[in-house]
Amino acid sequence: LRDVRLCALLSGESCAAALDWTIAEAAAGGVGMVQLREKQLSDRDLLARARQVRKWTRQAGVLFIVNDRPDIARLVEADGVHLGQDDLPIHDARRLLGADAIIGVSTHDLDQLRQAVLDGATYVGVGPVFASKTKTFGALAGLEFLRAALAETTLPAFAIGGIDATTIDAVVVAGARRVAVGHAIAAADDPRRAARGLMEALSAVVDR
């Protein structure tokens, strides 16, 4: 994860174009990790889709993370899994995936963040920072939580929630050096250009 600044949260349904093309173009624009976030598929169809995405991410040279499902991640030899607060605990996911697997955890407050660190998360998602076009949240954690989280941990932390070309500067000013985005890349006519724009915003501060 050292060099991964941009994660794309993708599904077949969310992408304006074919999923394989979107992955390849996003990777060419600077995406270093793809998280497959399929909520509507049956287990059988999800497994088949994950196997396809494993092939496409290998071809693109990017990390592959499965959302919510460590069992699917293991079956398709994904690089890891991303867990929500209601999913399997980290230690159980690690029993399935092994010590070297990447395990990310969504955190919405400092207590959840601290617990994720104690439980051995590889990275954390921090947010939602802004309202999202792809997921509904009961409340927004906002920029205040983002700033507090970044001061709290040295784990790789991805700001998430409503981040696009119009909001990326605000999260960078708040201290974010990594972001996870869905709609901004998935719905883009030119995912490569969209990813490149986000990377430029991140690099403008990182490289100073």
Q: 37 catalytic, yes or no?
A: yes
Furthest C-alpha separation in the chain: 47
CB 164 within 8 A of CB 184: yes
Pick from 49, 120, 167: which is nearest to 69 by CA? 49
Of the listed 5, 37, 94, 178, which one is catalytic? 37
For the chain, state the CA radius of gyration: 16
Of the listed 11, 106, 132, 192, which one is catalytic? 106
Q: 11 catalytic, yes or no?
A: no
Of the listed 114, 135, 147, 193, which one is catalytic? 135
Q: How far apart are CA 160 and CA 132, in angstroms?
A: 9
Q: 106 catalytic, yes or no?
A: yes
Give the count of beta carbons closer than 10 Å to the beta carbon of residue 153.
18
Burial of residue 40, with CB atoms counted within 10 A of its CB: 0-12 exposed, 13-18 middle, 19 or more buried: exposed
Q: What is the set of active-site residues?
A: 37, 106, 135
